[in-house]
């Protein structure tokens, strides 16, 4: 897979830094997306039957082999990190993807892997139906002393706006941290309704298999419910700047690893992907 990952362009990186998100068409070849989807379906089918309802942030502490109904989507964590399933490993831990992450960040620092998960948003009215993903920032839930972490959201199948493609408050990454609303399950716009006057909601996006969006962990974003009759298949993988210091803030993915506050996050769970 790694050879088929294309490079992020300078124009895309500039768009990302301005708006806090960017759409990357054909980041991955459609054939590779089809292969990823087939492996994803197989892993989630094999793990089936263990569905529990947990919050998104509790799910981050769960290794693979469990499909969790977290409300927003059916969640399967760490297919690359823990299951070591290909072609996921080659995609997420490739130099090419790490370099793309660094180009978007726009800083000459190493990039470290943070997490990866499958997010299948189930249509309304179907068994295990998913709710809208509430408006939130990712950053406040993370134990990082600085901004810069970013998420790739790769469409493994066609994703239409009606299936729950993501929407962003363009430019809202400049607001700074707005609270751990996602951790406690509060919609961020209930707390900050005025943001809708200050920032435009990004246009509706249609993604083909292999297209992706990337978002800054500090940009405010959400995804509507899936009102079609087809599952929405996304693979989300995230990176953070290697000079980030650990704050010690509670997060299931970072707790109990012996990480030291005010020190870099140098742990085999978070390998350096680039350079």
CA gap 241, 79 in Å, rounded: 22
Closest approach, Cβ 232 to ligand AKG, in A, equals 8
* Residue 212 binds ligand AKG (CB under 6 A): no
C-beta of 176 vs 275, nearer to ligand AKG: 176
Closest approach, Cβ 93 to ligand AKG, in A, equals 19
Q: How many CA atoms lie within 13 A of 189 on its CB side?
A: 16
* Residue 153 binds ligand AKG (CB under 6 A): yes
Instruction: For residue 236, give the nearest of 4, 40, 34 by alpha carbon.
Output: 40
Q: Which one of residues 60, 94, 133, 253 is an interface residue with ligand AKG (CB under 6 A)?
A: 133
C-beta of 93 vs 222, nearer to ligand AKG: 222
Here's the x/- map for ligand AKG, 221-240, by CB under 6 A: it reads as: x-x----------x-x----
Q: Contact at 8 Å (CB) between 136 and 221?
A: yes
Size of the site for ligand AKG (CB under 6 A): 14
Give the number of other Cβ atoms within 10 Å of residue 185's Cβ.
12
C-beta of 55 vs 264, nearer to ligand AKG: 55
- Restricting to residues 43-72, name those near ligand AKG by CB under 6 A: 72
Closest approach, Cβ 193 to ligand AKG, in A, equals 19
C-beta of 66 vs 225, nearer to ligand AKG: 225
Closest approach, Cβ 124 to ligand AKG, in A, equals 14
The structure tokens listed for 72 are: 């927003």
- At residue 37, what are phi and psi to the nearest 5 degrees? -65, -40
- Restricting to residues 71-90, name those near ligand AKG by CB under 6 A: 72-73
Q: How many CA atoms lie within 13 A of 2 on its CB side?
A: 12
Q: Which one of residues 74, 151, 216, 251 is an interface residue with ligand AKG (CB under 6 A)?
A: 151
Closest approach, Cβ 76 to ligand AKG, in A, equals 13
Query: Hey, which residues does 241 pair with through a beta bridge?
Result: 111
C-beta of 31 vs 214, nearer to ligand AKG: 214
C-beta of 56 vs 246, nearer to ligand AKG: 56
Where on the chain is the footprint of ligand AKG (CB under 6 A)? 72-73, 119, 121, 133, 138, 151, 153, 164, 166, 221, 223, 234, 236
């Amino acid at each position: 897979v790694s050879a088929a990952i294309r490079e992020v362009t300078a124009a895309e990186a500039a768009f990302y830094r301005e708006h806090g998100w960017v759409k990357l068409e054909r980041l991955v070849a459609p054939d590779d997306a089809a292969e990823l989807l087939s492996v994803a379906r197989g892993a989630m089918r094999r793990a089936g039957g263990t569905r529990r309802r947990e919050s998104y942030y509790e799910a981050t502490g769960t290794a693979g082999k469990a499909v969790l109904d977290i409300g927003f989507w059916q969640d399967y964590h760490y297919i690359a990190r823990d299951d070591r399933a290909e072609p996921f490993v080659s995609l997420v831990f490739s130099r090419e993807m790490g370099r793309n992450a660094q180009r978007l960040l726009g800083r000459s620092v190493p990039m470290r892997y943070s997490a990866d998960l499958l997010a299948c948003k189930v249509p309304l009215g179907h068994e295990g139906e998913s709710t809208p993903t509430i408006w939130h920032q990712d950053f406040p839930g993370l134990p990082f002393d600085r901004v810069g972490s970013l998420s790739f959201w790769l469409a493994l199948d066609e994703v239409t706006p009606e299936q729950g493609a993501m929407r962003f408050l363009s430019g809202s990454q400049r607001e700074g941290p707005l609270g751990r609303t996602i951790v406690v399950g509060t919609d961020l716009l209930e707390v900050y309704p005025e943001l809708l006057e200050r920032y435009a909601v990004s246009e509706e996006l249609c993604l083909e298999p292999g297209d992706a969006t990337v978002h800054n962990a500090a940009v405010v974003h959400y995804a509507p419910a899936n009102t079609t009759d087809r599952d929405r298949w996304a693979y989300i993988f995230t990176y953070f700047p290697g000079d980030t210091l650990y704050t010690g803030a509670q997060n299931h993915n970072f707790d109990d690893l012996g990480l030291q506050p005010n020190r870099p996050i140098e742990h085999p769970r978070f390998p350096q992907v680039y350079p």
